[in-house]
Amino acid sequence: MPLAAGTNESLSMETSATPILDRLQPLPAVRKAKAKLRLLPLVGAGVVLGIILSVVDWNVPPVRVWLHDNVIRRLDTLSASTLLVSTGAVVLAYFLGMVIHEGGHAIVGLAVGLRLRAFRLGPLLIEAPFRCSTFRGPGGLTSGHVLMAPHSVDRLEVRGFWMVAAGPAANLVSASVVYLLPVRTSQFAVLFIIISLLLGLSNLVPYRSVIGPTDGTFLWTARSAPGLVRRMLALMRLNSDLASGVLSRDLPIEFVEAAIELQDESPEALAAHAVAWSNAYQLKDYPRAARMLEMCLQRAGFANQAIREGLIYDAIVCQAKVRGHADLAQAWFGDLPTMPQSPLLRTCAEAMVLGVCGNKEAARAKIQEVRSMVEAMPPSVQRTIMVVEIDRWSAELDDELQNVS
């Protein structure tokens, strides 16, 4: 096959262990979601509705009375005030169901030896130790999330299974308890029962939503692929450590290994190998770092535009600083958009390419530009770490300049 632009011609498909990194193979295109996968949430909702219709005794007086008095009759006399009250009751019942769902995850997670690192309810994010902030990511208004980190890798699959199962179970149990109480005759109680059943059962349907895999995805695959739950918990620990300011080189290696044990094709595998690449690179285990980066590049089809740009930057770093291949670093730089989603990323890449091409003075000036951009960011643990790494990079370049002179 013809070599790609910028390929080191001493390499070939037969001799290179990292063909994508060495530009012997193209970066995989973005994978398009299949139509049938997009229909899974609708199919799951239909299954959930069918289960509810089959198990609920609609002739029970409280349910029948509520349906007649609060739904059928009120539809005929619907007004702005009653609509507002009903909408408020639905929102409150949904929020309470979400609290119970995430609380189930957290309580059982603590019981099986996991540490609670963060608890999110809609846009409200609470991180240990009691730091509150606003979450603006996907599902920020309608979903919750619990971040738990294990102390050790022992029996991760079993502990993860019970922690994940506890969320839907908490919804189903709470709905059953309220149904058995005298308050089930109230409008709010019936709303709570229905919404809790929907939350519990829909979370058992295995599909990938905009915020990630549902609980059911992990539970249904735990038997056939226990490594999925193991990787999930390992990534939770690693991401939690990184968010708290732990450097990649200082991550617990047993969790890094647990995260990459499962070699499947998925966004989670991409995330796991990205952490492993950063860990190996900072430890200066360059052969392993190149292998981990190649694993990331193989799964680039799962990445959005911002992550793909980050992978291109990582390839520039590997070819420039690790292997010293100026031609390959320049070729990867050519793949980086002129107007990337992160201007800082392109500026860093320019400094890398200038340095490997021998223009050390221009590279040092570009690094100072990078430092100014980072210092303009809001104060955070990550900004502090970036400043330290930039200073280390600048010092390495100064040493190279002194050696040349």
Strand pairing partners for 125? 120, 133
Digit-coded pLDDT (tens) for 150-201 = 988 998 888 888 999 999 999 999 999 998 888 776 778 878 988 998 899 8
95-146 pLDDT per residue, tens: 999 999 999 999 999 999 888 888 888 888 888 777 888 887 777 778 888 8
Backbone angles phi, psi at 162, to 5 degrees: -70, -35
Among 65-69, 156-160, 266-270, 272-276, the range scoring the smallest mean pLDDT is 65-69
Quote the pLDDT of residue 37. Answer: 47
CB contact set of 353 (below 8 Å; sequence gap of 6+): 316, 320, 326, 329, 330, 333
Tens digits of per-residue pLDDT, 335-345? 999 888 889 99
- Cα separation values, 377 from 135, 265, 322, 346, Å: 18, 35, 28, 16
pLDDT value of residue 50 = 60
Give 60's DSSP letter. S
**Confidence check: pLDDT of 89 > 90:** no
* pLDDT-based confidence at residue 227 (cuts at 50, 70, 90): confident
> pLDDT at position 274, please?
97
pLDDT in tens, 51-79: 555 555 545 555 555 455 545 554 555 55
Residue 46: which pLDDT band, with cuts at 50, 70 and 90? low
pTM: 0.75
Cβ–Cβ under 8 Å, residues 276 and 260:
yes
**Mean pLDDT score of the chain, rounded to an integer?**
83
Whether the per-residue pLDDT at 9 is higher than 70: the answer is no
Dist CA 118 CA 205 (whole Å):
25
Q: Where are the domains of the chain?
A: 37-221, 225-303, 325-405
Task: Please compute the mean of the pLDDT values over residues 292-304 and round it to a whole number.
Answer: 96
